[in-house]
Structure 1
Amino acid sequence: MLTGKQKRFLRAEAHHLDPIFQVGKGGVNDAMIAQLRDVLEARELIKVRILDNCEEDKNVVAEELAAGTRAELVQLIGLTVVLYKESRNNKKIVLPKVATK
């Protein structure tokens, strides 16, 4: 689970990224989830665009993407979803530390 500080950091990192996947009329499917898992392993942080012709609600699509890829939903702004999943082999992003009391 990401803290607010970590989510802010990831939103700032994702600001300059372009969406690399699109969810269209067909919605979320298994092939898309498999591809997203591979891309998340390589990049850790990605944007996915939900097209206007997508029949499902954008919140449902965002949750399906996060659950299917086992990634953290960083942000859903407009029709753009930002996902983060820590890579096992290609760790590039260092998250801010969680303050302990």
Structure 2
Amino acid sequence: MLTSKQRSKLRGIASTYETIFQVGKNGIQDTLIAQVNDALRVRELIKLRVLDNSPYTAREAADEIAEKTGADVVQVVGSRFVLFKRNPKEPVIEIDI
């Protein structure tokens, strides 16, 4: 669980990031979860987007993907959301945990 200060720092870092995944009309499938897991392992912080034709809202998609990957939801704004998962072996982002 992230504190509000950690969440704030991560939001600042994520503001410069590009969206790397999209949740579309097919929803959240195992292949998307696997790709998100791989990206979180390497980057720790990723930004995703929910397309208009998706059956999910951004909050619903963020919560479901976070639950399935063990990540924390950092932020949900409009159709975009940010996830964070610490890599215990090789941390990339320095925040006080």
| TM-score class normalised by the smaller sequence | over 0.9
Report the counterpart of residue 45 of structure 1 in structure 2: 45
How far does residue 56 in structure 1 lie from its aligned partner after superposition? 2.0
Whether 2:15 is the aligned partner of 1:18: answer no
User: Take 1:25 and 1:35, find their aligned partners in 2: how far apart are those partners?
Assistant: 17
SS of alignment partner, residue 75 of structure 1: strand
2:93 is equivalent to residue 93 of structure 1: yes
Runs of 4+ in 1 over 3 A off after TM superposition: none
Instruction: Write the deviation string for residues 10-67 of structure 1: whole angstroms up to 9, x where unpaired.
Output: 0000000001000000111111101110110000000001111112232211111110
Normalised to the residue count of structure 1, the TM-score between the two structures is: 0.90
| Mapped contact 2:71–2:85 kept (Cα < 8 A) | yes
TM-score w.r.t. the length of structure 2 is 0.94
Structure label with greater radius of gyration: 1
Displacement of 1:89 after TM fit?
A: 3.2
1:9 maps to 9
Structure 2 segments unaligned to the other structure (5+ residues) = none
Ranges in structure 1 where 5+ consecutive residues have no aligned partner: none
Give the number of equivalent residue pairs: 97
1:96 Cα deviation after fit: 3.1
Identity of aligned residues (%): 43
Aligned-residue offset at 1:88: 2.8
- The CA RMSD measured in Å over matched residues stands at 1.1
In 2, distance between residues paired with 1:15 and 1:34? Answer: 24
